[in-house]
Amino acid sequence: MFSFFKKKKEVIEEVVENIEQDNLDDSVNQKELDEIYKASEDAVNEESQNHSNEVTSEELQDEELRDIDQEVAIKNDPELEINDVVEDTELEVSKEEEKKGFFSRALSKTFENIRSIVPQKKEKIEFDVIEELLIESDMEYEIIEKAMNGLPKMINRKDLRHRLIMLFEFAPKVNLENRPTPFVELIIGVNGAGKTTTIAKLANKYKQSGKSVVLGAGDTFRAAAIEQLSTWAEKIDVPIVKTKQGHDASAVAYDTISSAVAKGIDHVIIDTAGRLQTQTNLSHELKKIVKVCGKAYKGAPHQKLMILDGTQGNSAINQAQAFNDMVGIDGIIVTKLDGTAKGGALFSISNQLELPILYVGVGEKKDDLIEFSPDAFVDSLLDGIYQKEEEK
């Protein structure tokens, strides 16, 4: 009896091994497994007939499958799985802490203003004091009233945090999964907002994540804009499609996308001329670029990103609203936050425009761009005025 099981198992293993050597796909289904076992039974048909009264093929299959399940269970040690979960959780916490530290440094001027109002950290802070520090950080009063409505005279961290986080809830969530290739982004903004530098930072971020990028110098209105973007493209070592000043910007957009499609490039970032929402001719050009992008590649541009100068505070909202009405903005990148005490404007920008803030820029270097996190932003603000649990 024992020799029969042993020989039959050896035959099964030999059949499986031969199939694996023929490059059998790892994802073998139950039907294919049944065929494997059936083949092995035929191979030992003579001996199985001699022992047919003692064991059936179904019992053997069940026993073999139980052995396989047991081996898998041993390999998948529950303790190892728990350790993996713990490591992933610790990594996520570490990233959030890193973002909090980044915001603390980037918005140092905003935090200095806040600390001048609340010089010492407290467990609870007066309603009027909270209102004053939010005004000083350049949050619009209408937004402040919305955040503060119904709060008690003495406000703890938990209650204020909940209200401030809620100011970002109207911004739609951006789906980063299943992006088309190429993924086309059109960059919009007024002159001086940091558009060219932000394009370079964004391209560098994609490149660092292992993606290929091509730039389109669509700001043909200024010769300097083409030169600046070309210089950045050389610095970060990415290709660029460009033309001469005064040429058709929509043609640049078309050629850039066509090149990306032909070469299988992951990301296309197209610059546009810096313009005011009141400049009719440039506004018409922007609408034309959007249409031409769609002809070059269906669905393009997949994101239209507005660059806002953080030093302008709430005055930038009117600009963004006008462009949103014009072509439909999908997201905001706020620049120059390191040079302003108006960090509270981020609440107003996201809440009033009902648009997500995707990134914030805090410097001129290629790495000075970070993904915006409402939680990290709010926590970094509150860390400066409220006691932590261990400090109480």
The whole-number average pLDDT for the span 385-389 is 82
Residue type, 130: I
Three-state DSSP class for 209? coil
Lowest mean pLDDT among 56-70, 111-125, 353-367: 56-70
- Is the pLDDT higher at 77 or at 211? 211
SS3 string of 354-368?
A: CCCEEEEECCCCCCC
Cβ 333 vs Cβ 195: under 8 Å: no
DSSP state string for 69-104: HHHHHHHS-HHHHHHHHHHHHHHHHHHHHHHHHHHH
User: Highest mean pLDDT: which of 11-25, 41-55, 176-190, 227-241?
Assistant: 227-241
Q: Model confidence over 368-377: pLDDT tens digits?
A: 898 999 999 9
Q: Is 138 left (phi over 0), alpha (psi -120 to 50) or beta?
A: left
Q: Is 161 left (phi over 0), alpha (psi -120 to 50) or beta?
A: alpha
Beta strands in the chain (DSSP E): 124-126, 154-156, 183-188, 213-216, 240-241, 267-270, 303-309, 331-335, 357-361, 369-371
The whole-number average pLDDT for the span 304-321 is 87
pLDDT for position 99:
58
pLDDT for position 277:
58
Give the CA radius of gyration of the chain. 30
DSSP state string for 127-162: HHHHHHHHHHTT--HHHHHHHHTT--SEEEHHHHHH
Q: Model confidence over 188-221: pLDDT tens digits?
A: 998 889 999 999 999 999 999 999 999 999 999 8
| Pairwise CA distance, residues 373 & 97, whole Å | 11
Structure token pair of residue 114: 């806040």
Intra-chain end-to-end CA distance of the chain, in Å: 74
Q: Model confidence over 134-161: pLDDT tens digits?
A: 998 889 899 999 999 999 999 999 999 9
Residue 264 reports pLDDT greater than 90: yes
